[in-house]
Structures are given as C-alpha cells and as structure tokens.
Chain A
Amino acid sequence: MPEKVYSKEEIQEVATRVRKNILRLTLERGGCYLGQACSSAEIFASLYTGILNLGPSLGSMDAIPFPGVPSPDNMDYPKGSLYHGAFEADKDRFFVSPAHYASVVYCTLAETGRISHQAIEKFNVDGWNMEMIGAEHSPGFENTAGSLGQTISIACGTAHARKLKNETGRVFVLLSDGEIQEGQAWEAFQAASFYKLDNVVVYIDVNGQQLEGYTKDVMDIEPLAARLEAFGAKVMDVDGHDIQAMIDASKVEHEGKPLVVLCRTSAAHGIPLLEKRKPFLHFVRVGDDEMDDFKKFYEQM
C-alpha cells in the first residue's frame, strides 16, 4: 500500500490534533509537557508526513505492557524504532533527543496511523510502554534519549556507520534548543562536520524557553545560526510553525556538511491561554481557577 500523501492543510490538521490531544492529556492527567507540544506540533507533523522517508510501521497498534529493560537476556523486546518501519538502506531514521517530548511523538504516531488512538490512553499509565519520558522501548524512540546532549552523538555515530555501509537513507534528529547548552552537542557538531556527515539533518525546536525561564536569560545560545555555521553546518533558519518552510528546508543542498534547520517557535502557539505563563512552560498544570477556560478552549479547538 503506498504511503499517504498529505496536503499542507492535512499536515496542519495533524499538528492541530496533536496539540489538542496533548491539551486533553494535560487537563485529564493533572499536567503535561504542553508547551513543548505547542512549539513542536508543526515540526513533528511535517517530519512524519512530509519530510521523513520511513517504511510502514512494524510496531503494535496497541500499547503494550512495559517489556523490560535491555539486558543480555532481553534484547528482542519490541523496540520503539519499529514504529518508523524496517531499517532499510534507502530509508530515513529519526532520533528524538528531548525525550520529554514523548507525548508529541506518541500523538503524532497516532495521527499518522502508526499507532492507535486508543494506545494514547496508556500514556503515562503505570506498567505500560508509553511513559511520560520514554526510553527505547517507547513508540517512536530509537534510543534512550532523556539525558540531554547524547542523542545527537548517537545519531551522528549512526549516520557515520550508514556512510561506511554506503546506505543512502538520511538520519534525522529532533533537538530542543535548551540542550544545545550541553558541551557534548558541540562535540557532536564538530565531529559531524569533520566526518562530512551530509546524511545528518537536525531540526531544532527553538522555542527560546527552558525550565528556569527564557533561554536568553538562563544561558544564551545565540547567535545560534552563526555558531552552527562556524562549526561547519549548513543552517536554515525558518518559522517552526510554517509547514512549507520546514519541508523546503529539508531539501536544500548541503553536500559535505550536516544540515541544521532552526525552527523558531512559540511554546504558546495554538493555545493563547498559555501566553501569559511565558517563560515558565516546561511542565504545564492547569489549576481549578483556570480549568473552565481551558476546557472551553479545548471544546472549540
């Protein structure tokens, strides 16, 4: 069966439904990483529907009980990467680095037919594989990404290996902007340039916020484009809510160097009620005083 081709409008609908679903989880579960969903919904929707070249999902449509941690006796557990299809030479791979974006990954998988909508009900439920911050058994995760700054290195090592094996598929990484404060991220960009890894494409959700406030106030990372270019990357700087711009950015020429797409976003995008909470949107709880407003907003989304 050929993969569905999404129109720009359909991709936007995917993003909006992802955002809406995570707002619902936030209201039902007493809190969620809603700000990240607001900033990254269009990025994930664009990647899964209009950018990544993935095979059909091999993952279970249903959530499954936690399959155990990897060990010498447990290496054949169902892996999160199954949801990205079989590992094939011409297919892309997708690594999500900030694992607290897990709900966005799960909901995008659901909106794109890679997992059932019912599975989302097991999100952050004890004993299941769809934890709030998942690991490599969680749907859509290729690796255990919760410790920030490591996934870019793992993805580059993977891309390096794929080059050595003459595979043509690309390796995509979703990074958050805060984690680029980690020294290891820069070690990885340094090495990706050195090894001319032009099969690496990094999308960064530049929402300008981190747990303690605006990134510019906590530990400034700007000028990000200039810094990354100085490290040898080809950099595109786009509106992270502009689907066409993000799709176009994935197609630019970047021979001999990794491609980085800076996606400038807002952590209140699509849910203006969050605007007044900026910059403190790392984990959103909705109290009784605001519950009615948020519920009303959810109903009309």
Chain B
Amino acid sequence: MKIEVNTHEKNMIKWASEHPEAVVLSGDLGSSCEIKGFLNTYPERYFSLGIAEQNMVSWAAGLAREGFRPYLHTFGVFLYRRVLDQLEMSVAYPNLPVTFVGFLPGIMTPGGVTHQATNDIAVLRNIPNMTIFDIGDATEIESVLQVAHDVNGPVFIRMLRKEVPRLFPANEPMVFNRGRVLTEGTDIAIFSSSICTEEAMRATKVLTEKGLSIQHVHISTLKPFTDPTVVETLKKVKYGAVTMENHVTIGGLGSAVADVIAEEGIGTKLIKVGIKDTYTHGASKMYLMKKYGLDAMTLIQAVKNLTGKSFGIREEDLEAVRFEDYTAV
C-alpha cells in the first residue's frame, strides 16, 4: 500500500485553479492544515482571519452570500466546538455553501483533548442542512472537494493530513452517500470509517482466513445516512454488525447504523467499536488507537462476541498482515 504525502495541499491548489470562486480562510493554522502551498500559489485568495474562529465562520457566511466558496482551514475542534452557534445560525440555517475543512479528527494528534475532535460527528449530525464527510484515504482526499461542491449547502470534512495511505484505487473516487464495499460476505457486517478502515482491513483479512464471511463497508458520508448499501448489508448477514470509528460511540457512525437497524426493522445485533464515552489524551496515534480500542484486536474481540466463536487470533497474527509502511510516522 502506498503512502501519499500532503495530498490535500496539492488537491486544494488544483481545485482552486479550476474554481475561481474558491477562497481559503485560515485560523492561523495554515501550515498545520496543508494550506501553506495554497497561500504561496494564490496569495490573493487566502484570507487570514487570525485566532478568531467565531468571526471567521460568520465572515465566511458573508463571502458565501456574495458568491464565493469559502474553505475554512483549521483544526476540527475549532470548527464545531468553539463556533457551534456561528456554524448553525450564520451558515447552516441559511444553507450556505461553506466548507469546513477540519483537521485532526478523533485521536489524530498528540495535542491532547483540546485538539482532538472526538465528538464532532455527534454534534454536527443533528444540524439541519449539514453534510458530513469522514476521510479514510488519499483517494478520498482527492475526490472530496468535488463531492462537497456538488452538495447544495454547508459541508464539514474530517480531513487527514501529511502521510495518508491510499487504500482505494485512485480512479475510484468516493461517491456521495455511498459506502464502499471492500469485501462481500454473509456472516457479519463491518462498517468502518476514517483511520479505522485500515485496521478493519487487517482484521478482516485474518478473520476471512479463519473461515468467516465478512461484508466490510467503508463509510465516508456520515450525513446524510440513507445509503441502501448499508441496509442491504445489514439484511444479508447472519450474526450482526460491528461499527468502528475514530469518534465516540455515542452519536457517530455506530449510532447512525443503529438508527438504520431500528428504522428498517432489521433486528440484528450491533457492536460499536470506538472511543467509549470518554475524553482522550495526548499521545501517538498507534498508542491511542490501542488504548481507546480503535485497533484490529478490539475489532476481532467484537466479532468474537458477536459470533460466539473464538478464532484464536493473536497480535502476532495481525503483525503478519500489517501493511507495509503502516508504522511509518
């Protein structure tokens, strides 16, 4: 698997070259949000609003009202937690085409709780007119701006930065409100998003070798959540479903799937893997994934609980399928 570097930076410049209405607003974190190259290429379309996110969000609403397409760049936490009223009243209520490019989703930073957007999906999913995308790989970074552009309204993107794996073929872009079926199967369903998909792919590979039939679906659209792929997957599996997300297990992907199960009357079991109703702290990504149960072993344990079967899989077995480059920082 190939690791791509600074994909968003290149993509945003390319996007701007084709879309003169696109402007970038920065909350003094441009170089941490892969947007410095944009500043060098399009200085007249890069607006620094300082460390003042509330004003930045409402300011973006004013620009959007005049036909510009603002792309707000800062850490995700500052684009929902700090500015929720501005996001709702200045942008979401009037349904303006403002794109929130939120970096450091979930546990993606050693910066600790103040920098980790661990409940953004839960907070944003109930906001009318809002669309939410959770990026899982480099191909999705390359395609999300087009998908977001086609949405008639505000969009929040949980963006990944720096080294990001390319899990999906470059010529198969993400599709709005459509899960990506990675493996087909009939025993259990796995729905994963963000950085968890790579872990789920490792677990799936080992579990499949043990004879389990898994339908693994990668999810990148968290709102709306009306994808028939999800319904079809849930209906066909024997034991139930596991969700796995870089987010708290209340209000995110797991809750969205639970809604579908209930509303469709599917009557299958669901285990939600994710951060368990807790704030997190600052440490490396792999440490945090293990500590908060976002890793392949946690998923395998969930599958064990769901099926009642023990697969005898140890950490060493997973090491064998660890994708090359994965541990590279």
Asked if B89 and A187 make an inter-chain contact with CB atoms under 8 angstroms apart, the answer reads: no
B66 — which chain A residues lie within 8 A by C-beta? Answer: 158, 161-162, 165
Please, which residue of chain B has its CB at the minimum distance from the CB of A75?
A: B95
A157 interface neighbour in B60, B89, B93, Cβ under 8 Å: B60
Task: Say whether A143 faces chain B, with CB atoms less than 8 Å apart.
Answer: yes
CB-CB under 8 A for A157 and B54, given A72-B95, A75-B95: no
Asked if A135 and B93 make an inter-chain contact with CB atoms under 8 angstroms apart, the answer reads: yes
Summarize A's interface: helix, strand, loop or mixed. helix
Asked if A184 and B55 make an inter-chain contact with CB atoms under 8 angstroms apart, the answer reads: yes
User: How far does the Cβ of A194 sit from chain B's closest Cβ, in whole Å?
Assistant: 8
Of residues B58, B90, B129, which shows the largest number of chain A Cβ atoms within 10 Å of its Cβ? Answer: B58
User: How far does the Cβ of B131 sit from chain A's closest Cβ, in whole Å?
Assistant: 9
A157 — which chain B residues lie within 8 A by C-beta? Answer: 58-65
Task: Report B32-78 residues with CB < 8 Å from chain A CB.
Answer: 47, 49-50, 52, 54-55, 57-68
- How many A residues touch B, CB cutoff 8 Å? 34
- How many B residues touch A, CB cutoff 8 Å? 30
A188 interface neighbour in B55, B151, B153, Cβ under 8 Å: B55
B58 interface neighbour in A154, A159, A161, Cβ under 8 Å: A154
| Count of A-B contacts judged by CB separation below 8 Å | 108
Task: Say whether B228 faces chain A, with CB atoms less than 8 Å apart.
Answer: no
Task: Say whether A146 faces chain B, with CB atoms less than 8 Å apart.
Answer: yes
Task: Say whether A26 faces chain B, with CB atoms less than 8 Å apart.
Answer: no
Asked if A158 and B50 make an inter-chain contact with CB atoms under 8 angstroms apart, the answer reads: no
CA distance A155 to B59 in the complex (A): 7
Asked if B61 and A160 make an inter-chain contact with CB atoms under 8 angstroms apart, the answer reads: no
Of residues B55, B61, B68, B153, which shows the largest number of chain A Cβ atoms within 10 Å of its Cβ? Answer: B55
User: How far does the Cβ of A119 sit from chain B's closest Cβ, in whole Å?
Assistant: 23
Task: Say whether B152 faces chain A, with CB atoms less than 8 Å apart.
Answer: yes
CB-CB under 8 A for A150 and B90, given A157-B61, A160-B62, A188-B55: yes
Q: A151-B58, A153-B90, A191-B55 are in contact. List 12 more A-B contacts (CB 8 A).
A: A69-B128, A72-B95, A143-B65, A143-B94, A144-B93, A147-B89, A154-B65, A156-B55, A157-B59, A184-B86, A188-B59, A191-B50
**B interface list, Cβ under 8 A from A:** 47, 49-50, 52, 54-55, 57-68, 85-86, 89-90, 93-95, 128-129, 151-153
